Structure 1
């Protein structure tokens, strides 16, 4: 019997000749991973600041060139980003001082549920081998961009990068994830100015606290008959 096995490998991402981190990830769509990660941490101001990405050593090193000057990142990370739990952002109290996104964007829950099903259908690696996470950007033109990775936070970075390359207006978009909504997911959405996060799972208490402060709507258990809407600021989700 043929067994499909999910891919995981260490990938060093080098930005302007300085090592950013080693990512334990699925070595696919690495340019998207780097762009999304840098943008969500406010280390890439916009897609026009991105110059090039060069992969070498069998996709184990990715050399990134940007126009951006070295800036203080929105949040800190460890030097090695593991694919499993507990390896995302490092909490900093300064995050709570960040202003609310104050973005007036909403979608009806039935439309969101349909988009989530589309994401799952397009998640080829998950559907063929399991053990993977998927994430999608659902924009105001009803486009759905999907990326997958063994790590849920990597999948989020990848799909943010993919959407940026297509010049999607992320302020009028929703990010969807197969993983739970933890603090790192909220920080990535805040950095990318995405006002709504949707999950197959649930949100943590800290994620809810920070998301409420930053004006980010969280929706959990989206495939249930009655999804959990943790904070509907505009009253337009249900």
Structure 2
């Protein structure tokens, strides 16, 4: 059974000096605590779907694992909000880099300022592939059109892993980084190489998003929103093309513009 991503709530709407009782569809917020080898590792606030992908993608982006085959068993208990991961190794590599922590769904500060494993796991992009300007616009439009939960609630972020021509997989979540972890987990579970792929994203490009993109291994990030100055600096350092404000028939290229070409 597929878990719902939204629920119906009664609200009071104000419009033109009048209050009206209505019902509205809102995004569900779900806490998930991850245990690794019976030790509590992290609690994430997320949308309650594609949890296996998210857990695997999160562990890979944090440097706990590199491949799916390192996981002996992954058990989900969605009713209680737990994910139990058993690794073949009994000891987490570089465990001093990790600490039990709460990972929220809001924007927040980039974790790169706090966790040394980001430095270890973020990869400088070496791709030489390009994408046309029209393809950038097409991929953004396609991603937004496929997210019914966003259309209905406006309360989630969308992310998609794409070729230059089409969407491979798209995921939605209340947390920006959770949506990216789900894509990463999907690619690991299905053996999809990501170096030549494009990451399409609905939210603001923060330094955290660029760090996540580097951990996944993509070299082009497309967003309908704005980047931060630190994200642009980080994108330059990691050789990632960052494109923002993809709206209508225009966009801005903030780093490594040589990968975006005309027809």
TM-score, normalized by the shorter chain, greater than 0.5 = yes
Task: Decide whether aligned partners of structure 1 residues 72 and 216 sit closer, same or farther in structure 2, where only a CA change above 3 A counts.
Answer: farther
CA RMSD of aligned residues (A): 2.6
Q: CA deviation at 1:200?
A: 0.9
Which residue of structure 2 lines up, in the alignment, with residue 18 of structure 1? 39
Which residue of structure 1 lines up, in the alignment, with residue 154 of structure 2? 130
SS of alignment partner, residue 178 of structure 2: helix
SS of alignment partner, residue 3 of structure 1: strand
2:189 corresponds to 1:165: yes
2:177 corresponds to 1:153: yes
2:47 corresponds to 1:4: no
Which residue of structure 2 lines up, in the alignment, with residue 43 of structure 1? 64
Return the structure number with greater strand share: 2
Distance 2:69 2:229 in 1: 36
Aligned length: 237
Higher radius of gyration, 1 or 2? 2
- The 8 Å contact of residues 25 and 83 in structure 1, kept in 2 or not, is answered as yes
Q: CA deviation at 1:86?
A: 0.4
Q: CA deviation at 1:52?
A: 3.3
Distance 2:75 2:144 in 1: 30
Distance 2:190 2:163 in 1: 11
Structure 1: which 5+ residue stretches go unaligned? Answer: none
Which residue of structure 1 lines up, in the alignment, with residue 237 of structure 2? 213
TM-score, scaled relative to structure 1: 0.88
Q: CA deviation at 1:55?
A: 1.2
Distance 1:205 1:194 in 2: 20
Which residue of structure 2 lines up, in the alignment, with residue 120 of structure 1? 144
Q: CA deviation at 1:24?
A: 1.0
1:67-98 Cα offsets, whole Å, 9 max, x none, are 4662238x868711111120551416976797
Task: Decide whether aligned partners of structure 1 residues 233 and 66 sit closer, same or farther in structure 2, where only a CA change above 3 A counts.
Answer: farther
1:95-135 Cα offsets, whole Å, 9 max, x none, are 67977322222211211211111111111211122211111
- The 8 Å contact of residues 139 and 168 in structure 1, kept in 2 or not, is answered as no
SS of alignment partner, residue 164 of structure 1: helix
- The 8 Å contact of residues 32 and 162 in structure 1, kept in 2 or not, is answered as yes
2:102 corresponds to 1:80: yes
1:137-189 Cα offsets, whole Å, 9 max, x none, are 11367342111111111111112212222222110111111110101111111
